[in-house]
Amino acid sequence: MIELSVKDISVHYGKNCALNNVSLPTLRAGDVLGLLGPNAAGKSTLMRAVTGAQNHKGTVQLNGKNRQQHKQTDWHNRVAFMPQTPPQGSALKPIELMWSATRSLGISFSDKQLAGHIESIFDALELNDFAMKPLDALSGGKRQLVGLALCMLRQPQVLLLDEPTSALDLYWRMVVLDLVAEHVRSTGAIAIAALHDIDLAVRYCSHIAIIDQGKLVAAGAPAEVITRENLAKIYHIDADITFGPNNLPNVHINKPLRGMNNETLNINL
């Protein structure tokens, strides 16, 4: 069974502490964790630390083995990272990018298998009409979808998605997260997605973790984490929480809480 453990992650940029001993719930096959927090909370830094692209203290283990114990090719075949920035505009076409990425990663598809796999991914993301257009002719949202398609190529055990829906409207956000959820369900994979949309995080994620100023604030099931108190302290909003089917919280935002610090919030909540 697939298992991902992220424990005591700290990152410093000189004297600045970007992450301070952040641990995530242990994730197993079928789990999706939504990573929430305000801008500059440390979400992207944590994602890069998990991939191994960011120097850090602490441990990242996949299936009981530290990141350093995995062969590089093995790790990259198992763990796919979608950065916040979509593929840059260029004369390269999405179909060409998919083929070249597959061969550079050494993924062992035959040409026929690869063609069918790419077609299936493009069909799920409604990209077939754009497959032969240069990347620099595509919108940022379409290039973001191409970035997700690249991640799905290797059929990863772990998907790390840094704000995968930031350039998309609500329809496409749901298409993307539906595809991620289906991949996780059908293959027994794990996904971590840094998100800003709380409602979508509640809808799609089995676990939620909130970080703020480089520290873990709360982690657990959506009903445990998405509380009036946490939303007030982290996002500075007043919200009412009701509960729908499967005890999933529904967030009803009333107003921003201007000029209130955490001590004042504790008195008034």
Task: Return the HEC string of 226-256.
Answer: CCHHHHHHHHCEEEEEEECHHHCEEEEEEEE
Model confidence at 70, in pLDDT bands (50, 70, 90)?
confident
Model confidence at 264, in pLDDT bands (50, 70, 90)?
low
Q: Which residues pair with 200 in a beta bridge?
A: none
Global pTM reads 0.91
In this prediction, residue 260 carries a pLDDT of 64
What is the distance between the alpha carbons of residues 188 and 211, in angstroms, rounded to a whole number? 26
Residues 150, 102 contacting (CB under 8 angstroms):
no
Residues 157, 81 contacting (CB under 8 angstroms):
no
In this prediction, residue 268 carries a pLDDT of 55
Is residue 52 over pLDDT 90?
Answer: no
Q: Residue 24 contacts by C-beta under 8 Å, 6 or more apart in sequence? A: 6, 7, 33, 192, 209, 216, 219
Task: Read off the pLDDT of residues 104-122 as tens digits, 9 standing for 90 and up.
Answer: 777 777 888 888 989 999 9
Tell me how long the chain is.
Answer: 269
What is the distance between the alpha carbons of residues 192 and 51, in angstroms, rounded to a whole number? 11
SS3 142: helix
**Hunting for tokens 């409207």 — which residue is that?**
169
- Domains of the chain in start order, with CATH, are 3-226 (3.40.50.300), 227-269 (no CATH)
Task: Read off the pLDDT of residues 190-222 as tens digits, 9 standing for 90 and up.
Answer: 999 999 999 999 999 999 999 999 999 999 999
Q: 70 is written with which tokens?
A: 């995995």
Task: Read off the pLDDT of residues 26-49 as tens digits, 9 standing for 90 and up.
Answer: 999 999 999 999 999 999 999 999
